[in-house]
Structure 1
Amino acid sequence: MIKKLRIFLALALVVAGSLVLVPLQVLSMKTGLWPETFILKIWHRMIARALGLRIHVKGALSARRPLLVASNHISWTDIMVLGSRVDVKFIARADMANWPMIGMLSKLQRTVFIERERKRSSGDQASEIARRMANGDAMVLFAEGSTGDGNLLLPFKSTLFGAASIAISEGATEQVFIQPVAIVYTRLHGVPLGRRHRPIAAWIGDEDLMPHLKVLLTRPFAHPGPGAKVENRLFFAAERR
């Protein structure tokens, strides 16, 4: 009963908040009344709160532009973790455009959707990312190309790093800055997450979204341990209450 109540209250918060924030974001995009990420940050924080996530940040987003942010990737919740704290735009796989709520949020944030399996389109996609960076957007690339459980860093997919080279070769900029970002989910029930329990926070491969969402809403995470700060790296620690 308590688990069902928690799920109901979380979904009610997201729906009620979205009814207010979506029109405000559309207005912002059309009029420039606020920076594009202003409303989105509030929205990301609302969803993170509904999921019971507490986010701790070590370091700061680089002020240099053009900027490509290279992050590890554990779950779809990484978007809320990053988007709630820093002014960034995302590079995401194409099928996310049709996801309920997440797809709408992504489109309102002008996410660049990519089709990794279609190599013929990779050049056009990299060019679009290059243009966005040249126009001042800090673009987040989940460089592993897939999600993992957080125990190991998967090999980086080098193709879309080509956006940095394209931005330079097309004369849009003389240099591109690349900033690494580390995301880690740290505790469950007040206990540090070990290797065996990290898959609880992870969303791996072709796992369905709704069962994973249910797990997140019914398994409270708790305070994270301290994260090591590495020079020129952003470190995000997410906990569940």
Structure 2
Amino acid sequence: MIRIALRLAALVAALLLALPLHLLWRLVRLPSPWPMWFLGSVGWIIGARRRTIGTPLRRDVVFVSNHLSWMDIPLLAGRNGSAFVAKAELRQVPLVGWLCTLNRTIFVRREDRMAVADQINALRDALADTWAITIFPEGTTGDGETLLPFKAALLAVLDPPPPGVLVQPVRIDYGAATRELAWVGDEPGQSHAARVLRRRGSFTATLTFCDPFDPRDYPGRKAIAAEARARIAAAGGEGGAPAL
């Protein structure tokens, strides 16, 4: 409990430092580096020691990544400044939902088929503003040992691809701590967060940014999903599998 309390106190301190500076930057209409700084600090406070392989693009890019835990978000955003696509329910979570808005999270309702076109347009507008966006096409978190099939429907924004946008696959790996930290099954979010916060010591989180590719070279979202998955699998020494 002491370790959890200390880490929570450090998270609150980082937020209290970053938030006023972020609002000041917004007030004078300057691009704010503080959400990226805060999220990078979150990764450090929870014990992650980030290791980067490859070079992330900064703009006009859709990152396609495997998904292990909520920790993926601060680790990736703290490195590449990306915004994220998240399920709409997250917007209603106290504090967490509000923090997501600071990093320009795009909330979507996957079950609302009537709103799919509007959601795709929102993603396209974000890309038109030269944002970098991250999508987790597995649609859920995995155990870190098996790469789940990619749901091609989650890549609808790339069918057809917006002009000038590239796709960069990313492999996230927690190394020896993966089994301990991956969020799998029906574990409640609060329980998983507490498990991460009480964990002793640090761990290495490796982010492998694969070579980007032009989605126009792959006809349709299924082909794009399959190519991204194959590159992520190869980065982890796995075989490929078709997208759904």
The bucket for the TM-score relative to the shorter chain is: 0.7 to 0.9
Which whole-Å CA distance do the structure 1 matches of 2:9 and 2:87 have between them? 28
Which whole-Å CA distance do the structure 1 matches of 2:86 and 2:68 have between them? 13
Closer, same or farther: CA 211–54 of 1 in aligned 2, 3 Å: same
Q: Are 1:150 and 2:147 an aligned pair?
A: no
Q: Are 1:212 and 2:189 an aligned pair?
A: no
Stretch deviating more after TM superposition (7-16 or 150-159): 150-159
Q: Which amino acid aligns with 1:124?
A: D
Within a 5 Å distance, the mapping from 1:24-63 to structure 2 comes to 24-33=21-30, 35-36=31-32, 38-63=33-58
Give the 3-state SS of the residue equivalent to 1:207 in structure 2: coil
- Does the CA contact (< 8 Å) of 2:170 and 2:210 recur in 1? no
TM-score by length of 1: 0.80
Q: Give how far 1:146 is off.
A: 1.1
* Partner residue, 1:186: 175
Which whole-Å CA distance do the structure 1 matches of 2:76 and 2:115 have between them? 27
Q: Which amino acid aligns with 2:55?
A: A
Q: Which amino acid aligns with 2:68?
A: I
Q: What root-mean-square deviation, in Å, do the aligned CA atoms of Structure 1 and Structure 2 show?
A: 2.6
Q: Which amino acid aligns with 2:11?
A: V
* Partner residue, 2:182: 202
Which whole-Å CA distance do the structure 1 matches of 2:9 and 2:209 have between them? 36
Q: Give how far 1:87 is off.
A: 2.1
* Partner residue, 2:3: 6
Which of 124, 149, 165 is the equivalent residue of 1:176? 165
Identity across the alignment (%):
33
Q: Give how far 1:206 is off.
A: 4.3
**Alignment coverage as a number of residue pairs:** 216
Which whole-Å CA distance do the structure 1 matches of 2:76 and 2:70 have between them? 11
Report the structure, 1 or 2, having the larger helix content: 2
Q: Which amino acid aligns with 1:207?
A: E
Q: Give how far 1:154 is off.
A: 1.4
TM-score by length of 2: 0.79
Q: Give how far 1:222 is off.
A: 4.5
Structure 1 stretches lacking a partner, 5+ long: 237-241
Within a 5 Å distance, the mapping from 1:17-96 to structure 2 comes to 17-33=14-30, 35-36=31-32, 38-63=33-58, 65-96=59-90
